[in-house]
Chains A and B, each alone.
Chain A
Amino acid sequence: MRAFLKKDVLVYWRDRKQNIFSLVIPLILIVVLGLLLPNWIENPTSTLQLKAAMVVHDNEAAGLEQFQSSLKSRGLPDEEAAVLFELAALSPPVSLLNDMLKSDQIVSMVEWVELDEEAALRRLQSGEIQAIVTLPEDFTLHILNKTLLDEGNGAAISLTSDDPSIEVGVLQGIIEGFTQQFNASSAIAHAGTHSAVTLNQEAVLPSIGGVETIEGVRVLTSFQYFTLAVGAMFAMYVAANSANKAITEKREHVFQRILLSGSHPLTYLAGKIVATLMMSLLQLTLVILICHFVLDLFPGYSLEFWLGFSLLMMMMCLIVAALGGLFTAAMFRMNANTANAIIQALLLIIGVIGGNFAPIYILPDAVQQLWEWTPNGLWLSTMIQWIQQESWEAAINGMLGLSAFIIAIIALSVWTFPKRGRI
C-alpha cells in the first residue's frame, strides 16, 4: 500500500497548479463572505438608495383654519372648541408624517424631491424617480375630522410606484408602520374619550426586551460559522478531485497493471483514501489557520479547546477521505461523466442540507430534520456545539456518530470497488 500512497502523493505533487487553486478558492470565498457579511448583518437596508417624489395637494394651514371654522359653526362651547383646536395644532398629521419621512434615518435612504403631480408622474415613467408619495386634498381636514370629531372616513396616503423593488417595499413598510402607529394612538384616544379619559393620557413606556445568551455558551460569530462551513465544503471537493485523478488512471489502464502485478485491488483504494486524507488535512488546516490569523477567529481560546478542535478537524478529514474512496469506486464503476454528475449533485445536496452554503435555519423544517443525517451537517453541528460549550460529552457523542458515518462510507466504497476479475 505504501507504494500506492507514494504514487498518489506524487500525482498530487505533480499537479501543483491545481492544488494551489483549490487552496486559494476557499480563501477567496471566505474573504468574499467576510466583505459581504458585516454590511449584511449590521444594517441590511443601509445600502438601499431610492429617489422619491412627494406630492402634497394638502395645505396644512388652510386645513387647520377650516377645522377651526368648522368647530365654530358646529356650535361647540368655546372652551371645548379651543381644547380641540389646540390638540389639532399641537400635532397636525402632515407635520408628523413629514417629521418621520424627513428624519435622518429615512433621508439616508430616500432622496426626496417636491414636485407637482404631473411632473412626478412623468419622471416616474422615465425612471428618474422610483416612487411617488401623494397626500390628497384636504388631507389635514379629513384626518382631524376623523380623529378629533369622529366624522367622515379619514384620508389615505397613496404610494405610486412601477418598480416592485426591495427599496419600494421598504418605503412601503415605513409608511405602513407610521399609519399603524398613528391609527393605534387615535384609537386609544377615541376609546378613551368614550370612557371619559383625557386625551393626552400618555403612558410612560418601560424599557423592555434585550438579547441574552445561554449561560456557559459562547456566541458563535458569523466568521467562525462561515470559515468552518466553507472550509468543510471545499475539503469535500478534495474528495471529488481525488476521484477525478482516478479517471486518468482508468483511461491509461494503470489499475489493470496494478492488478497484473499481483497486488490486491483494495490496496489501490487504500492508497487513494490515505492520500485524500493527507490532502484534505493540509487544505483544511491551512484554510483554518490563515483565517484564524487574518480574521482573528478564535481569540484567547484554551489549549483544551484546540485539542477538541483538532480532533474534530481530523474527523472531518477522515470523512473526506472516506468520500474520496467512495467517489473513486464510483469512477471505476460507471462512465466518468455520469459519476461526476452524481458526485457534484451529491456534494451540492449534502452541502445545502448540511448548512455549508447557508445557515440551516433558513431552510424548510423538513430539510432541517435531515441536517444531522448528513456527515458534514453532523460535523458542523458538533463543531458549533464544541465552540459554544466545549463540552466533551456532546463532542464525543458527535464523534461517535461521525465514526459510524466514516465506517459506513468506507464499507460502501470497499463493497462497490471492482473486485479482481471484474475489470
Chain B
Amino acid sequence: MVPVFLAQWMKEKRSPYMVLIFISISIAAALLFGSNMDIKLKIDTFRGEGVTVEEAERWIDRLNESGAFIFSLRAEEESLADVRQGRSDMAVRLLKDDYRIIAVMESTNVELVQQHMQAVYHEEFRIMAAASHAEDELEFREAMKTYMEQPPLKLQSSTSSGSELRSYDMRLQLLFGFSLFLAMLTVGFRVNAMTAEKISGIWNRVILSPLTKTEMYLGHLTYSTLIGIVQITMVFLLAKYLFGFSLGHSFGMLAMIVVLYTMTIVAMSMLFTGILRTPEQFGAIFTSIVPIMPLISGAYMPPGTITNDVLLFIGQFLPLQHALDALIGVSIYEQGWTDIYLPLAKLLLMAVIFFGVGINLVERRRL
C-alpha cells in the first residue's frame, strides 16, 4: 500500500499544478465571498423632472438609513445604460415625492426595493404632513429627532443564555459549498488517474508484483482522500485565520465531517469510473455533472429556497447535501454530535454503497 501511495505522491510532486489550481480557485472564492458578499446591494438612482439635487440627496439619505440597499445618485444616461445592458437589474427614478423603479429583467430584488422604498416614503410623508401643520418645521423635526433617540418601543434580541443573537451567515454557507464542490473536482481527477494507469498498463505491471489488489486500491484511494482533505482543510484554515470567518466551536467535528465527506467523494468517483469506460469519458461527464450538485443541494441559495419534492429527494443522494448540513449545523447552529450523527451516518452509508458497487463494476470490466 505504501509504495503505491508514494508513487502517487511522487507524480503529484513532479506536476502539482492540478491540485494547486483547484486550491487557488477555492481560495479565490473564499476571498470573493469573504470580502464582498456582506456589502449591501447597490441601487442607482437618478433625478426625474423638476427634482433638485438637494431633494434627491435628502431622499437618498433617508433611504440609506436602514434596509439592505445602498442608493446612490448617478446621471440618468449612465444608470439607464447599465439597466439596458443587463449590468444592473434596476434603477430608480426619483420624482417629486414619488419614484419609479425601472427594470427590464425579472428579479427578486425589485419587490424588496419596492417594499423598502414604500415604507420609507410613507413614513416621510406622514412626518411632512404633520410638520406642515406645525408652526416651526425645523423645531418639529428637531423635536422628533430627540424623541426618536429615546423611543417608547424597543426590540431586544438575544439568545437564551443572554448573548447576542447572530444572523444567518450566508457567506459561510457559500464558502463551505464552494470548497466542497472544488474538492470533488480534485478528488475526481485523482481517482481518474487510477483508470489512466490501467489503460497505460502500469496497473497490470503492479498486479504482477507481490502487492495484493486490496493494497493497490488502498494506496490509490487513501492518496485521493488525503489530497481532498488537505485541500479543504487549507481553505478552512485560511478562511478562519486570514479572513476571520467564525467556523464554530469545534474544529475537531469539522475535521471529522471533512474526512467522511472526502471518503464519500472518493467512493462516488469510484462509482463513476465503474460506470464510464475511459478516463476521457470520465473527464467529460464527471466535470459536467459535478457543477450541478451544489445547485440541487441548494448550496448557493439561502436555506428553505428549494421546496420541490423531487429536488429534495434527489438531494438526499448527493454527499454534498449531507456534508453541508453537518458543517452548517456545527459552525452556525453550534450543534453537537447527537445532532449531526444522522448526516454523518448517511455519508458513511453512501461511501460503503458507492465503494461496493464501484469497485465491483471496475473489477468486472476488461480493459
Contact = CB atoms under 8 A, between A and B. Distances in A.
Interface of A: 15, 17-18, 21-22, 25, 28-29, 32-33, 35-36, 39-41, 44, 47-49, 93, 121, 124-125, 142-143, 146-147, 153-169, 172, 175-177, 179-188, 190-192, 194-197, 201-203, 205-206, 208-214, 217-222, 225, 234, 237, 240-241, 244-245, 247-248, 251, 335-338, 340-342, 344-345, 348-349, 355, 358-362, 364-365, 367-368, 371, 380-381, 384-385, 388-389
A21 B288 CA distance: 9
Contacts of A190: 143-144, 147
Contact of B160 (A47, A124, A181): A124
A195 B135 contact: yes
Interface string B136-154: 1001110110011011111
A172 B189 contact: no
A211 B110 contact: yes
Given A163-B333, A184-B126, A154 B151 contact: yes
A166 B102 contact: no
B101 A345 contact: no
Nearest to B294: A357
Interface stretch (B212-220, B236-244, B301-309, B350-358): B301-309
B133 interface: yes
B84 A389 contact: yes
B160 to A, nearest CB: 6
10 contacts: A25-B288, A159-B156, A163-B333, A164-B168, A188-B126, A194-B140, A211-B114, A214-B80, A341-B189, A361-B41
B168 A166 contact: yes
B359 interface: no
Given A195-B133, A209-B98, A341-B17, A177 B80 contact: no
Contacts of A206: 97-98, 125
A344 B310 CA distance: 29
B278 interface: yes
Question: Which 9 residue pairs across A and B have the least CB separation, nearest first?
Answer: A203-B129, A154-B152, A341-B18, A195-B134, A191-B143, A146-B152, A183-B151, A156-B154, A164-B166
Contacts, number: 328
Interface string B83-102: 11111110001000111111
Given A160-B160, A348-B25, 6 more contacts: A44-B302, A125-B160, A154-B152, A168-B168, A210-B100, A344-B287
B304 A47 contact: yes
B86 A385 contact: yes
Interface in B256-302: 278-281, 283-285, 287-289, 291-292, 295-296, 300-302
B292 A29 contact: yes
Contacts of A360: 86-87
A40 B333 contact: no
Given A203-B126, A220-B106, A244 B25 contact: no
- How would you classify the secondary structure of chain A's contact residues: helix, strand, loop or mixed? helix
Contact of B200 (A49, A251, A389): A251
A360 B155 CA distance: 36
Given A164-B332, A191-B144, A179 B154 contact: yes
A179 B151 contact: yes
A247 B280 contact: yes
Interface in B102-130: 102-108, 110, 112, 114, 117-119, 121-123, 125-130
Interface in B184-225: 185, 189, 193, 196, 199-200
Q: Which of A29, A121, A213, A345 has the most CB of B within 10 A?
A: A345
B25 A176 contact: no
A241 B148 CA distance: 64
A147 B32 CA distance: 47
Given A18-B281, A214-B83, A40 B301 contact: yes
Contacts of B279: 247
Nearest to B90: A211
A71 B129 CA distance: 30
Instruction: Identify which of A39, A156, A185, A337 gathers the most chain B CB atoms within 10 Å of its CB.
Output: A337
Contact of A211 (B25, B101, B169, B308): B101
A187 B280 contact: no
Contacts of B21: 338, 341-342, 345
A36 B89 contact: no
B310 A153 contact: no
Given A47-B305, A218-B104, A208 B118 contact: yes
Contacts of A39: 305, 307
A332 B160 CA distance: 62
B126 A185 contact: yes
Contacts of A214: 80, 83-84, 102, 104
A391 B214 CA distance: 65
Contact of B153 (A156, A345, A384): A156
B200 to A, nearest CB: 7
B152 A388 contact: no
Contact of A208 (B110, B112, B121, B166): B121
A117 B156 CA distance: 16
A361 B129 contact: no
Contacts of A368: 87
A213 B285 CA distance: 42
Contacts of B302: 44, 166
Nearest to A121: B160
Given A40-B305, A220-B86, A209 B99 contact: yes
A203 B156 contact: no
Contacts of B143: 190-191, 194-195
Contacts of A49: 304
Nearest to B282: A244
Contact of A143 (B25, B66, B102, B152): B152
